[in-house]
Amino acid sequence: MSPSRRPTTSLITLAATGLLATLASAQDFNATPPHGAAYNQTPAFENQTRAPVMSGDLALTQTVLVEGLEHPWGLVQLPDGNWLVTERPGRMRIVSAGGQLSDPVEGLPEVDNRDQGGLHDVSVADDFAETRRVWWTYAEPRGDGKNATAVATGILSEDGTRMEDVQRIWQQQPAWESTKHFGARIVHDGEGHIFVGLGERSDPEPRQYAQDPQATLGKIIRIDAVDGTPAGAGIDGALPEIWSTGHRNIQGAAMGPDGQLWMSEHGPKGGDELNLIKAGGNYGWPLVTYGIDYSGAEMGVTQQEGTIQPVYYWDPSPALSGLVFYDGEMFPDWQGQALLGGLQSQDVIRLAIEDDRVTGEARHVRGIGRVRDLEVADDGALVLITDHENGQLVRITPEG
């Protein structure tokens, strides 16, 4: 491993009084946007948006473990305490707990890294110490300027320098000439399958496929983790891997403490969503949304029979990416709560959830940068990556 800059530490205190209190107030991150009624939609139930603001008066220590990552996208901790990190241009690296950055892992497939494309999520199963098996998603070139999300798996060599026995186990269909909305988070179900949340490629024409049961744009799929065999929800007339439909661009995914699957996705202008995923469910896009088009034009309706409402939505959008439910000892008051990364809001969003409803929202480490992914370390610290040309891997702990 090549040395990186020495880890650096700073203290961020979100005080409950004075000027800093504004940083954790409803007027700051949940204020009604001045964009008119079409943007300030009416929620379907209480606390579906702008839930009560929880206290943010917690002093936090930020330690930069490594910097110089080029648009990092995915993050997972290995049993030895090191971290696997992807960089969107097509590289996967190991970051040691001490802040050393490895050379790129060899043996990965070619990616289309234009715009939002490239190497995306990375994941390992609980048996990594024995199998050393890794999964990742990426924008796969498909010829004539077209591309689509793909899922691959391989075995990380014992010395961590090379990915061996690499196999692409799944391809999104149809491929499209677009450089946006690939998704694509991976979640293990603990039963030998993986869920993958997929984007609908953004443009007006392909986004309609989010409602097409014979396409995997704008879907969540479930497949066998080793060979990609479809293991979907058994929806009549649908491809056998499809678990749910009607999604825009999923960039956060996790199993909740109750064993349920949760995913977060970008809305258009407004309407970012946190969804509780049900087998066979239709989540509405592009027919149903709490956002509007970037041009200002209205898009669809906010509620429609036969579609599932988001548990929570944001207006304006924080641009969600990364989702984890806290399970650790460093932040006992956060136990079981959802933590989401904000790209545009440049912070960590914390949600208290009871009986599948959000009861409170808080923001932390405001201004830290574009939070692309976040995970809870084995010792209970929160670790995140910032999506910049000079991206960082940052460890968040309580002060002291």
Instruction: Going residue by residue through the chain, which has 400 residues, state the pLDDT in tens, using 9 for 90 and above.
Output: 444 444 555 544 333 333 333 334 444 576 655 443 346 689 999 999 999 999 767 899 999 999 999 999 999 999 999 999 999 999 999 999 889 999 999 999 999 999 999 999 999 999 999 999 999 999 999 999 999 999 999 999 999 999 999 999 999 999 999 999 999 999 999 999 999 999 999 999 999 999 999 999 999 999 999 999 999 999 999 999 999 999 999 999 999 999 999 999 999 999 999 999 999 999 999 999 999 988 888 888 999 999 999 999 998 899 999 999 999 999 999 999 999 999 999 999 999 999 999 999 999 999 999 999 999 999 999 999 999 999 999 999 999 7
Q: Which listed residue (71, 120, 181, 364) is catalytic?
A: 181
* Dihedral angle sign, alpha carbons of residues 71, 76, 82, 86: negative
Nearest in space to 308 (alpha carbons), one of 262, 339, 349, 268: 262
Amino acid symbol at 246:
G
Which domains are assigned to the chain?
Answer: 8-398 (2.120.10.30)
CB atoms within 10 A of CB 397: 18
- HEC assignment per residue over 32-74: CCCCCCCCCCCCCCCCCCCCCECCCCCEEEEEEEEEEECCEEE
Tell me, rounded to whole angstroms, the distance of Cα 36 from its chain centroid: 29
C-beta separation of 209 from 217 below 8 A:
yes
pTM above 0.85, yes or no: yes
Question: Which secondary-structure segment (H or E) carries 204?
Answer: helix 204-207
**pLDDT (0 to 100) of residue 25:** 44
**pLDDT (0 to 100) of residue 8:** 54
User: Is 181 annotated in the active site?
Assistant: yes
CB atoms within 10 A of CB 364: 21
Sheet holding 72-77, edge to edge: 72-77, 83-87, 91-95
Residue with tokens 């929620």: 43
Please measure the distance between the N-terminal and C-terminal CA atoms of the chain and give it in whole angstroms: 30
**pLDDT (0 to 100) of residue 6:** 41
**pLDDT (0 to 100) of residue 37:** 39
Cβ contacts of 334-339, under 8 Å, gap ≥ 24: 336/257, 338/254, 338/256, 338/262, 338/274, 339/374, 339/376, 339/382
**pLDDT (0 to 100) of residue 116:** 97
